[in-house]
A and B are shown apart, each in its own frame.
Chain A
Amino acid sequence: AQSVSQHNHHVILSEAASLELGCNYSYGGTVNLFWYVQYPGQHLQLLLKYFSGDPLVKGIKGFEAEFIKSKFSFNLRKPSVQWSDTAEYFCAVMDTGRRALTFGSGTRLQVQP
């Protein structure tokens, strides 16, 4: 069975600081990888996804993530965070057969102005 680990449960940053959120997964087959964001009171939204090709993927709002197959990692990065990035971030892996997502436990990001 696949699993996803997000090691940072709660991150507090000041505006303009750089962000990196860790995500590691375990799955033996071909995977698709995702980062979702959930702003306070809102539904889950897709930030970015990796299916194949260039392991550095760019998403919305200046976020990017790098897939490192040898490390089973898909870390999320942003060079300069804004107060509006305050949200919960979820890493997820999908097995390409069933197309069902397995989520990590999430990282709560708090950006202080």
Chain B
Amino acid sequence: EAGVAQSPRYKIIEKRQSVAFWCNPISGHATLYWYQQILGQGPKLLIQFQNNGVVDDSQLPKDRFSAERLKGVDSTLKIQPAKLEDSAVYLCASSLDREWNNYGYTFGSGTRLTVV
């Protein structure tokens, strides 16, 4: 099966600009996650969707970050305006709940964002 697709792979923007990342999970995976991985740190959960509803966005900086999964399939994460400290890899992951015990998450390759 195809993996979790993310685009773009790399993005360089100036501070105060806006940027959007796209994620297409594995077909049929109801749960979708966005993680932020700053260099030298482990991934940190930003937001979790179950189908098109938000399960947890407690660590999403809502003054500048937004995410949506309108049709319960692919998702977009946006940053507006970007700050230097947003430089990180943004990872998308998905899971098939009824087979969670066997497979857990599948991660995408991520989008590396550099804010200059």
**Using a CB–CB distance below 8 Å, which chain A residues touch chain B?**
4, 6, 34, 42-46, 49, 51, 90, 92, 98-106
Contact = CB atoms under 8 A, between A and B. Distances in A.
Smallest CB-CB A-B distances: 10 pairs: A103-B42, A44-B107, A43-B109, A43-B107, A103-B43, A105-B42, A100-B45, A106-B42, A104-B42, A90-B42
Interface in B1-54: 3, 31, 33, 40-45, 48
Interface in B93-115: 95, 97, 100-101, 104-105, 107-110
A49 to B, nearest CB: 6
B56 A103 contact: no
Given A44-B91, A98-B55, A100-B45, A34 B40 contact: no
A4 B44 CA distance: 12
A46 B56 CA distance: 23
A76 B110 CA distance: 25
Among A6, A43, A104, max chain B CB count under 10 A is at: A43
B54 to A, nearest CB: 12
Contacts of B45: 100-102
Contacts of B3: 43
Contacts of B95: 99
Interface residues on B, range: 20 to 34
16 contacts: A4-B42, A6-B42, A42-B109, A43-B110, A46-B104, A46-B105, A90-B42, A90-B43, A98-B48, A98-B56, A99-B31, A99-B97, A100-B45, A101-B105, A105-B41, A106-B41
Contacts of A34: 104
Contact of B33 (A45, A51, A90, A100): A100
Given A90-B42, A99-B31, A103-B42, 7 more contacts: A6-B42, A43-B109, A44-B43, A46-B105, A49-B104, A101-B33, A105-B42
Interface string B40-83: 11111100100000011000000000000000000000000000
A34 B40 CA distance: 19
A106 B40 CA distance: 8
Contacts of B104: 34, 46, 49
